Amino acid sequence: MLAALADALDGGTPVLPVPDGSESAALGALQQLPENELLEGTALVILTSGSSGIPKAVALSASALRASAEATHERLGGPGQWIVALPTHLISGVQMLVRSIVCGTEPVFFDDPSGRPFDPAAFLDACDAADGGSTGRRYVSLVPVQFARLLELAEQDPDAAERLRAIDGVLVGGQAVTLEVRRRAHALGVRLRRSYGMTETAGGCVYDGVEIGDTRVRIRAGEVQLAGPSLALGYIGDPVLTAEKFAEEVGRDGVPTRWYRTGDAGELLGGMLTVTGRLDRVLVSGGVNVSLDEIERIAREHAGWDSAVAVRVPDAEWGERPGLVVEIADSAGAARADFDAIRAVIRERLGAAAAPEWSTEIDRMPRLPGGKPDLRAIDEWIGRLRASFAETRAAGSAAAHSQEDDA
Which pLDDT value is given to residue 271?
92
Pairing between strand 234-235 and 56-61? antiparallel
User: Rounded to whole angstroms, how far apart are CA atoms 202 and 217?
Assistant: 15
pLDDT at 403 over 60: no
Taking residues 188-192, report their average pLDDT: 98
Confidence band of 141 (pLDDT split at 50, 70, 90): very high
Mean pLDDT (the chain, rounded)? 87
Taking residues 231-241, report their average pLDDT: 93
Residue 121 CB coordination number (10 Å): 13
| DSSP code, position 100 | H
The answer to whether 322 and 311 are in contact (CB under 8 A) is yes
Confidence band of 24 (pLDDT split at 50, 70, 90): low
Do 62-269 and 281-377 come out as alike in CATH topology?
Answer: no
Read off the pLDDT of residues 83-101 as tens digits, 9 standing for 90 and up.
Answer: 999 989 999 999 999 999 9
Confidence band of 80 (pLDDT split at 50, 70, 90): very high
Residue 34 CB coordination number (10 Å): 10
Which pLDDT value is given to residue 385?
82
Which pLDDT value is given to residue 252?
81
Residues in CB range of 55: below 8 A, 6 or more apart: 32, 47, 48, 49
pLDDT at 277 over 90: no
User: Rounded to whole angstroms, how far apart are CA atoms 45 and 34?
Assistant: 12
Judged by DSSP in three states, 387 sits in: helix
b/e for 303-337, b at 16 or more Cβ within 10 A?
ebbbbbbbbbbeeeebeebbbbbbbebbbeeeebb
Residue 292 CB coordination number (10 Å): 23
pLDDT at 114 over 90: no
Which pLDDT value is given to residue 335?
63
Which pLDDT value is given to residue 29?
59
Which pLDDT value is given to residue 397?
58
Confidence band of 23 (pLDDT split at 50, 70, 90): low
The CATH homologous superfamily of the domain defined by 281-377 = ANL, C-terminal domain (3.30.300.30)
pLDDT at 174 over 60: yes
User: Rounded to whole angstroms, how far apart are CA atoms 32 and 220?
Assistant: 33
User: Rounded to whole angstroms, how far apart are CA atoms 100 and 83?
Assistant: 10
Read off the pLDDT of residues 245-272 as tens digits, 9 standing for 90 and up.
Answer: 999 988 788 888 999 999 999 999 999 9
The answer to whether 215 and 206 are in contact (CB under 8 A) is yes
Residues in CB range of 3: below 8 A, 6 or more apart: none
pLDDT at 52 over 60: no
Read off the pLDDT of residues 279-307 as tens digits, 9 standing for 90 and up.
Answer: 888 888 877 888 898 899 899 988 888 88
Which pLDDT value is given to residue 195?
97
Which pLDDT value is given to residue 320?
85
Per DSSP, the residues of 239-297 read HHHHHHHEEEEE-TTS-EEEEEEEEEEEEEETTEEEEEEETT-EEEETTEEEEHHHHHH
Confidence band of 399 (pLDDT split at 50, 70, 90): low
What sign for the dihedral angle of Cα 296, 329, 173, 241?
Answer: negative
Delimit the domains of the chain by residue range.
Answer: 62-269, 281-377
pLDDT at 204 over 80: yes
Residues composing the chain: 407
Q: Which amino acid is at 274?
A: T
Cα–Cα distances (Å) from 31 to 16, 18, 27, 88, 214, in that order, read: 12, 12, 6, 19, 35
- Nearest residue to 181 (alpha-carbon basis) of 276, 305, 19, 13: 305
The answer to whether 249 and 256 are in contact (CB under 8 A) is yes
Read off the pLDDT of residues 330-382 as tens digits, 9 standing for 90 and up.
Answer: 444 456 788 999 999 999 999 888 999 899 998 888 888 777 888 888 988 88
Residues in CB range of 225: below 8 A, 6 or more apart: 217, 218, 219, 259, 260, 261, 262
The CATH homologous superfamily of the domain defined by 62-269 = ANL, N-terminal domain (3.40.50.12780)
| DSSP code, position 39 | P
Confidence band of 19 (pLDDT split at 50, 70, 90): confident
